[in-house]
Chain A
Amino acid sequence: MKNLFILISAMVLLNACNETIKVKETYSSAPDLYPDYNGVTIPFNIAPLNFKVNDEYSKIDVVLESKSESLHIQQNEFADIPVDSWKELLNSSKGDSIRITVSVQKNNAWYAYQPFYIHVCEDAVDDYLAYRLIAPGYEVYSKMGIYQRSLQDFEQDAIYENTLVQGSCVNCHSFKQGSAKDMSMHIRGKLGGTVLLTNNKMEVLKTKTDSTLSKFVYPYWHPSGNYIAYTLNDTHQVFHSSNNKRVEVFDNASDVIVYDINKNEIIKCEALMSDSVFETFPSFSPDGKTLYFCSAKMEVMPMEYTKVHYNLCSIGFDPESGTFSNKVDTLFRAADIGKSVTFPRPSPDGKYLMFTLVDYGNFSIWHKEADLYLLNTETNQVRSINEVNSDDTESYHSWSTNSKWFVFSSRRLDGLYTRPFIAHIDNEGKVGKPFLLPQQNISHYDDLLFSYNIPEFITEKVNIDIPELEKKLEGEKKQVGIRQ
């Protein structure tokens, strides 16, 4: 039904005639755009970058030109670029730029801006983006869901919505190297459990055991698909009283374990379950032989919450035997500079490790100072990714399967709701200007009262059999065991 309406709207738009314009005046600057797409680097398979000019006008005229193609559109409120023409334009501009000339009509006269450019990269981005849409309601939850969005057009559909199970929360969706067939997500609540898709075979796990701290929390898949690292957290939520901070989530205790999918058992490692240290945010290296994690000296919580600083650490892991080495390496001593690392994420090609750096703690999503950093695994050099950081929060991030793109959530638009931005990184480690995930209607983000949470690239659509999931949630769940 929705698609029918979109189709009708598109047909009406396409049938509208483009008026030839006579420019009364040409401004000396490029237009001030929303979203800011001026100078961004985009993949050749991305959906149209619809935009508007931050000015009062009655019509907008846009000419998009590559070396061999050109596209002319004229609309009332914003530039709504037809998907097919846009695709042709991008395909003809791979490795080059598109020149965009914008004019706006004010009081029946046309005013032109200086052209701006969009760089079209030859590196493709994965076809879909999965994310959770959640209202910033913190402790109790009502409506939320995990959705997937085609990056080549604007189609979004739900993977799961919590309205399917009354009083439930859904969180921590994770995929094996972008595979939609291998997914982990938690459904919390009375009928809850950890939903595991392995090659599209679904199981619902009961993950709390007598000898572990909590149910499974933050996941990261082993590249082999045989293991998933999870954290176990005793998490609490508190509120700030000052105006520029809102909420803090901290752990009273936390451990990292690895779940052996085939044997349905938890693999413990003493170095990852210390009583005097908080361990969290695990991730496996692309070769599967190293487990990265964040580690902080335990403090009295929440009184000493600002003293909690997580370092970036790693430990060897043998995928054959499912055992750990004895030695923990500290890769980046954030505590030494009074900072704290969250969300270490290695690029699939193993060249980089991206993480978020904050002043303290691990709840970077509500830290305005949170920025993205890049560790070069060859040189061990760490740098702030200034090309993408803003004055507001940059927090969760994930890599595309070809290591050329990363998506990150940022609150830069309004300081309140996280939105997904995508950026390119080239072979030399140079990062392009990021672009906001394009939407068909540019008021999409303005009218949406939900944050984009945990954006993850996936290569195809996730297909969860909802009746089967409901049946499994209502039935007996598979209890995970502990490796002795």
Chain B
Amino acid sequence: MATSLSENIRINKSIRFTLLLIPGLFVFLFYSLTFKYHLFFKEQITLFIYSPEYLLSYFNKPGGLASLAGDFFTQFFYLKTAGPLLITLIFYINWVLFYKVINPYFSSEKNLIWFILILPLTESLMHYHIGYTITHSLSLILTLLIFIISRRILSSRQKQFLFPLFILFGYLISGGTIVLYFIFQVFEFLRQKSIHYIANILALIFVIFIPVILRSYFLVTIEEAYLYPFNKLIYLLPSALSTIYIILNLIWPDKILSLRSSVIISSIILIIVIWKDRPDFNREKLLSLSCEGYFGNWNKVLHLSAEYKLENQLASYFTNIALAKYNALPAHLLEYYQPFAESLFLPLGRQSGWLNIFSSNEAYYQIGDMNLTQHSAHLGLIFSPYNRSSRMVKRLAETNMIIGEKEAALRYLGMLDKTLFHHQWAQKRIGMIHNRQIISKELLDKQSFLPQADTLRKGEDNLSGLRLLANSNPDNQSAIDYLLCYHLLNKDLQSFKEDFEKYFTFNRQLPRLYGEALLIILYQQKASTEEISQYFLPSSLMKEFVEYTEAYSKSNGQLSNLSNQYRYTYWFFYHFAQKSKE
């Protein structure tokens, strides 16, 4: 009988343990399967350098320890499963901590751990926001820890005395979440019915005034002073939900009912919030293109792009770079969504989103425009959410290697050398700088594309840049295709014809796209047969053009009648593609 009872207990324990693993498994799988690029990208927009001064710089803002530790852990997102694992680990830590905080209020409830599941779950779901980082998680964890530790080790009287000091300490290490500590502590005094008004008022004054007083030192706005490192109110949702449990407990005599109500209310709020601010799976797709490109998997970029069929400027931008990598830009350009020439170069300006600014160097790098690559990479660096980016520092290092600025390249490589996961990459390139024999082919190719002449051009004047590159090196097919496609996407056929005649060499097969465009302009200019023959246009293409024009005339300009047969032709694009008013 006794054996059977203990076996039952053991079985119950293992069932309970297994049950506890299920939510963590859900969190892990959610991030592993749906947000892996998103997490990887978070590493790319941070840079964690093992340098004392760099590390101390984290303390220039409130919540210094949370920020430092947050970036330390974020660097592990570089590894494939480390991100989901870390978030899962944080999920369990939060679960335990929230349990410890709330347990005294509902000590009679055996299944409390399950009733509060929604709190750590909400926190882990916050990570699907690109701006929510491990720093935010740690800020919350540190605050909960401060509260739990102070509750355990201090007597009520000591707590009242040290309450304000804990707030100051907490603000410096965990930032704005220290308000939560204050709220918890006041609730604690209410629960214990040991309210010491002077201590509470003093603490309240501290909570209100510490951020205001210290903001001149930290140079943050009033809003930031109270929220830092939380830059969006929604990120404080887990903290807000946890207070619901305690408030209902304190005001509702029936503890069981208050607990169940807390769960219901929290769940409803969470569902509404998620509904309003849904996970952005499209952004995950965009980041997948960006990240696969970063690893040089351009074939995968094309594969993913074809699979996603996104009608998105950034998706087209990465797709076009991938096509150019395989010298296939004109061959497949119109098989993908093309929002005119803005899918070739991303406009830079105050209205551009940071993700566009961050990505804008990639096209310049592809065509060999190193000055604008460098400019865009600098902008990408300072416009990334925390003004730090391992990816941009790498790009700056590469760019300076290509243009022969050895000292500048070594400077960036020196920074990467002091990181955990980019150290080897940097070492390899430092080796290349010291020994040109081992320099990579990609860098050598880019070096051969460097323009010899100097001109001035505006940042947004991509045409001048492309023409200069084409002039400097007739073998720079990427630049020539970008130039010709730029005209075609802008429907500027006259410029296309002029640049085609100037830069296109017939030692490569005439891409059908160019042939289609030439036929339009030659037709518009009523070119003679002799003139047309100079372009080596295939007779089959000319025949198709005649058929298209007939079909177009018959269709009365109706898009649907032509789309099946001609939707990927330039003729179709020329006639029907329209810029959206936006």
Q: Do A and B bind each other?
A: yes
How far, in whole Å, are A157 and B468 apart by their CA atoms in the complex? 45
Is A326 part of the binding interface, using a Cβ–Cβ cutoff of 8 Å?
Answer: no
Which residues does chain B contribute within 8 Å of A247, judged by CB atoms?
Answer: 375
Is B459 part of the binding interface, using a Cβ–Cβ cutoff of 8 Å?
Answer: yes
Is B56 part of the binding interface, using a Cβ–Cβ cutoff of 8 Å?
Answer: yes
Task: Give chain A interface residues in 400-440, CB to chain B under 8 Å.
Answer: 413-417, 439-440
- Binary interface encoding of chain B residues 536-560 relative to chain A, with 1 for a CB under 8 A from any of its CBs, else 0: 0000000000000000000000000
How far, in whole Å, are A413 and B405 apart by their CA atoms in the complex? 12
Q: Which of B268-276, B312-320, B379-387 contacts A (4 or more CB under 8 A)?
A: B379-387
Contact B348 A241 (CB under 8 A): no
How far, in whole Å, are A243 and B370 apart by their CA atoms in the complex? 8
Is B448 part of the binding interface, using a Cβ–Cβ cutoff of 8 Å?
Answer: no
CB distance from A127 to the nearest CB of B (A): 20
Chain B residue at smallest Cβ distance from A140: B350
- Binary interface encoding of chain A residues 423-464 relative to chain B, with 1 for a CB under 8 A from any of its CBs, else 0: 000000000000000011101101101000000000000000
Contact B411 A139 (CB under 8 A): no
Chain A residue at smallest Cβ distance from B64: A1
Which residues does chain B contribute within 8 Å of A161, judged by CB atoms?
Answer: 219
Is B451 part of the binding interface, using a Cβ–Cβ cutoff of 8 Å?
Answer: yes
Contact B387 A143 (CB under 8 A): yes
Is A286 part of the binding interface, using a Cβ–Cβ cutoff of 8 Å?
Answer: no
Contact A238 B458 (CB under 8 A): yes
Task: Give chain B interface residues in 431-462, CB to chain A under 8 Å.
Answer: 450-459
CB distance from A362 to the nearest CB of B (A): 14
Is B374 part of the binding interface, using a Cβ–Cβ cutoff of 8 Å?
Answer: yes
How far, in whole Å, are A402 and B374 apart by their CA atoms in the complex? 41
How far, in whole Å, are A140 and B356 apart by their CA atoms in the complex? 14
Which residues does chain A contribute within 8 Å of B459, judged by CB atoms?
Answer: 138-139, 237-239
Is B60 part of the binding interface, using a Cβ–Cβ cutoff of 8 Å?
Answer: yes
Q: Which of B45-53, B81-89, B249-257, B303-311 contacts A (4 or more CB under 8 A)?
A: B45-53
How far, in whole Å, are A135 and B392 apart by their CA atoms in the complex? 13
Is B403 part of the binding interface, using a Cβ–Cβ cutoff of 8 Å?
Answer: yes
CB distance from B180 to the nearest CB of A (A): 20
Which residues does chain B contribute within 8 Å of A242, judged by CB atoms?
Answer: 451-454
CB distance from B477 to the nearest CB of A (A): 19
CB distance from B467 to the nearest CB of A (A): 10
CB distance from B299 to the nearest CB of A (A): 31
How far, in whole Å, are A135 and B379 apart by their CA atoms in the complex? 8
Is A164 part of the binding interface, using a Cβ–Cβ cutoff of 8 Å?
Answer: yes
Chain A residue at smallest Cβ distance from B407: A414
Which residues does chain B contribute within 8 Å of A22, judged by CB atoms?
Answer: none
How far, in whole Å, are A80 and B451 apart by their CA atoms in the complex? 45
Contact B382 A142 (CB under 8 A): yes
Chain B residue at smallest Cβ distance from A392: B407
How far, in whole Å, are A391 and B213 apart by their CA atoms in the complex? 47
Is A160 part of the binding interface, using a Cβ–Cβ cutoff of 8 Å?
Answer: yes
Contact A239 B350 (CB under 8 A): no
How far, in whole Å, are A1 and B170 apart by their CA atoms in the complex? 12
Is A16 part of the binding interface, using a Cβ–Cβ cutoff of 8 Å?
Answer: no
Contact A140 B375 (CB under 8 A): no
Which residues does chain A contribute within 8 Å of B372, judged by CB atoms?
Answer: 239
How far, in whole Å, are A409 and B562 apart by their CA atoms in the complex? 64
CB distance from A164 to the nearest CB of B (A): 6
Is B415 part of the binding interface, using a Cβ–Cβ cutoff of 8 Å?
Answer: yes
Contact B59 A248 (CB under 8 A): no
Contact A241 B379 (CB under 8 A): no
Q: Which of A2-10, A90-98, A254-262, A341-349 contacts B (4 or more CB under 8 A)?
A: A2-10
Contact A415 B378 (CB under 8 A): no
Which residues does chain A contribute within 8 Å of B403, judged by CB atoms?
Answer: 243-244
CB distance from B410 to the nearest CB of A (A): 8
Is B221 part of the binding interface, using a Cβ–Cβ cutoff of 8 Å?
Answer: yes
Chain A residue at smallest Cβ distance from B377: A137
Contact A241 B468, CB 8 Å, known A1-B172, A138-B375, A447-B54: yes
How far, in whole Å, are A417 and B54 apart by their CA atoms in the complex? 17
Which residues does chain A contribute within 8 Å of B450, judged by CB atoms?
Answer: 243
CB distance from A251 to the nearest CB of B (A): 14
Which residues does chain B contribute within 8 Å of A157, judged by CB atoms?
Answer: 217
Which residues does chain A contribute within 8 Å of B349, judged by CB atoms?
Answer: 140
CB distance from B35 to the nearest CB of A (A): 26
How far, in whole Å, are A446 and B411 apart by their CA atoms in the complex? 6
Contact A241 B451, CB 8 Å, known A137-B379, A444-B53, A447-B49: yes
Task: Give chain B interface residues in 393-437, CB to chain A under 8 Å.
Answer: 393, 400, 403-405, 407-408, 410-411, 414-415, 418
- Binary interface encoding of chain A residues 359-402 relative to chain B, with 1 for a CB under 8 A from any of its CBs, else 0: 00000000000000000000000000000000000000000000
Contact A239 B457, CB 8 Å, known A138-B375, A143-B387, A416-B405: yes
Which residues does chain B contribute within 8 Å of A142, judged by CB atoms?
Answer: 379, 382-383, 387
Chain A residue at smallest Cβ distance from B386: A143
How far, in whole Å, are A245 and B375 apart by their CA atoms in the complex? 12
CB distance from A359 to the nearest CB of B (A): 12
13 example contacts (A-B, Cβ-Cβ < 8 A) are as follows A139-B348, A140-B357, A140-B383, A242-B453, A243-B370, A243-B404, A243-B451, A244-B403, A416-B407, A449-B382, A449-B388, A465-B216, A466-B219
The 10 A-B pairs with the shortest beta carbon distances in the complex, nearest first, are A242-B454, A142-B382, A243-B403, A441-B53, A416-B408, A238-B456, A2-B59, A414-B407, A135-B382, A161-B219
Binding site for B on A (CB under 8 A): 1-2, 5-6, 9, 135-143, 145, 157-158, 160-161, 163-164, 167, 236-248, 302, 305, 413-417, 439-441, 443-444, 446-447, 449, 465-467, 470
Binding site for A on B (CB under 8 A): 49, 51-54, 56, 59-60, 64, 172-173, 215-217, 219-221, 224, 348-350, 357, 369-372, 374-375, 378-379, 381-383, 387-388, 393, 400, 403-405, 407-408, 410-411, 414-415, 418, 450-459, 465, 468
| Further 9 A-B residue pairs, CB within 8 A, beyond A140-B379, A240-B454, A241-B457 | A137-B382, A142-B382, A143-B382, A241-B454, A241-B468, A242-B452, A305-B456, A416-B405, A447-B415
